[in-house]
Each structure stands twice: as structure tokens, then as C-alpha cells.
Structure 1
Amino acid sequence: MARRLLPVGPDFVETAPLRLVFAREVSAPPEAVYRALVDDVPGWPQWFSAVTFARLLDGGTRREVHLKGGTRALETIVAAEPDTRYAYRVDRINVPGVRALLEEWRIVGVPGGARVQWTFAADGTAAFRAVLRLGRSGLGRAFRDAVGALDARLASAPRT
């Protein structure tokens, strides 16, 4: 049964009891990275191997995401600032111990491309927070691999 989480806002990314932050530079420009994150949600499984299914709901204000291992989440978009920021909170998830969860993607232009930063902001039971801390290196690796795959995908996409 999916658990209903606290309806946190975008500021939770700064105030969460647990924040995991990862960053990587890519050769793609900020606007291409942003479009891939926001406009091509169904394409996420093509570059983020942990994601098996993703789709927009309610005219693009919500998302449904399935992850490897059986995790299912319903999310609400809480920030969409063109070419710079995309954030969503998890409203329902089938993971025990979670109280609140928000993910934020920040994109900053750098010479030759963009710097992509992903913040995983969470609150939950002590056991949940401990598992996340222990899984930090795995989440970091998943992020780096995903953003690298996204960069390769964007490099091979036809230019419009």
C-alpha cells in the first residue's frame, strides 16, 4: 500500500533532515538538459537505468514513476524554472519509513555545457535515514551514470 507523504514545498530542499547532493558536468547546453528532464518524462528510462516507467499526469503538474525493485511513486511538480531548476515532491510511495521526499535538479551553464546538480531531500524514520546514508555512494553512482547517459543521448539527438 502506498504511503501518503507530507506535502513539502520547494524550500524543503534546504531544510530537510537529510540532504544528498550530487553534481556532474555535461557537454549538453542547459536548455537541452532541462527539456529532457521536464518535457520528455516518458524518456527517462532510456537514460536513468533505475527508472523503469515514467509519465506525466494532470496536464504535466504530476508524475507517476516506477523504479527497479518495485518502488512506485506519485509526485507533484513544485518548481519548473526554464533551463535552471526542476523539482518534484513525492506524494505517495510504497517504501516504508518515509515521511517526506523532494528531488531537485539544478542546471547551470558552464563553458562547454552545463553543470547538473541533483539534491535528494528526505525525512523519515531513523532506520530510513540510515539506509539512505549507507546508500549514498550507490545513489551518487546512479546519478553520475544517468547524467552521463543523458549527455550521450542528447549529443546523438537530431538538432532542431
Structure 2
Amino acid sequence: MTRRLRPVGLDFVGIAPVRHVFAREISAPAEKVYHALESVPGWAEWFPQVAAARPVDAGAGRDITLTGGIRFRESIIAAEAPEVYAYRVDVTNVPGVRAIAEEWRLAPAGRGTRVRWTFATDGTAVYRLAMKAVRGGQARAFRDAMAALDRRLNA
């Protein structure tokens, strides 16, 4: 991984030039969903695009490898159980990117939880254009991940 990104805080999620926001209700309670988000190695079991995930820096960060070889070294920027879990990317092998932060917000919904994922990013003009093109793929990945997570938490 050779690209060090601009360090951003939680506020970046609301002001990033490119923001993809996805939401879905699942039947699992927020406490279980939050625990799954915080349990980094488990991501590879329910988020199909995550090939490997491990905590680093005594749990203050994450190393994530996606299918296809994209890698991220991340820092946790918010961990407020059971409502908010967020991290920023510090280092990656993705070209053209300048900053990435992701926020997961959980709220009670009926008998389960409303999960909202915000992917916020900035980069070169070519990168921003490419990110708009991958929005549909991210939407499918989120939908599939939430279905897998719900099955896992209710097994």
C-alpha cells in the first residue's frame, strides 16, 4: 500500500464531494449489529467483498483486503455503541483517492434495526467519476451484506 490519504474526521461523512448513502432494515437488534461491525475479523464472513479483515493497533485500526486485491489500513474514528461505528482510510493501494471515511448508523426500526452506511470520499476528477460509476455495485454489495449479516445474527 503506497498511498497515504488525508486524515479526516467524522464530519467528512457529511461534506465529502462524493457520498454514497445506503439504508436497509434488518431483523437483528442494534446491539447485535453493532457487535458484528466492531468484530473486525467477522466482516469476511458476512460482507462478500471483504476477503480478509483484522484489527490492528490494539483495536484502534483495521486492515481490510477486498476481493480483487484492494487494501485499506483504517483508523476507527467513532465507536458509540450501539448507534455509530465509523472509520477512515489512512493508507490504500487505490489510485487517485485523497480521502475516505465510512459511517455505519444504527437505529431501532420495528422489531429490528435500520442500518445506514455512508461511504464518503474525495479524489482526483477521474477517481470521483469512477466512484459515481461504482455506486450501483456498492448498493448491491450493501444489500447482500445486510442479508448475510441478518441471517448470521438470527441463526
- TM-score range relative to shorter protein: over 0.9
In the alignment, the residues of structure 2 paired with residue 59 and residue 70 of structure 1 have an alpha-carbon distance, to the nearest angstrom, of 24
5+ unaligned residues in a row in structure 1: which ranges? none
Aligned twin of 2:107: 108
Letter in 2 for 1:44: W
How well do the aligned residues superpose, as a CA RMSD in angstroms? 0.6
Aligned twin of 2:41: 42
Please give the residue correspondences for 1:49-68 in structure 2 after superposition, counting only pairs within 5 Å: 49-68=48-67
Aligned twin of 1:123: 122
1:16 aligns with 2:16: yes
Secondary structure at the counterpart of residue 63 of structure 1: strand
- TM-superposition CA deviations, 1:14-63 (whole Å, max 9, x none): 1101100000000000000000000x210111110100000111111010
Secondary structure at the counterpart of residue 115 of structure 1: strand
Aligned twin of 1:146: 145
1:99 aligns with 2:98: yes
- TM-superposition CA deviations, 1:92-146 (whole Å, max 9, x none): 0000000000010000011110000000000001111111101111100000100
Of all paired residues, the percent bearing the same amino acid is 57
Aligned twin of 1:81: 80
Superposition TM-score, scaled by structure 2 size: 0.98
Q: Quote how far apart the aligned CAs of 1:2 are.
A: 2.0
Q: Quote how far apart the aligned CAs of 1:77 are.
A: 0.2
Secondary structure at the counterpart of residue 154 of structure 2: helix
Secondary structure at the counterpart of residue 96 of structure 1: coil
5+ unaligned residues in a row in structure 2: which ranges? none
- Runs of 4+ with deviation above 6 angstroms: none
Aligned twin of 1:133: 132
In the alignment, the residues of structure 2 paired with residue 58 and residue 3 of structure 1 have an alpha-carbon distance, to the nearest angstrom, of 19
In the alignment, the residues of structure 2 paired with residue 147 and residue 56 of structure 1 have an alpha-carbon distance, to the nearest angstrom, of 21
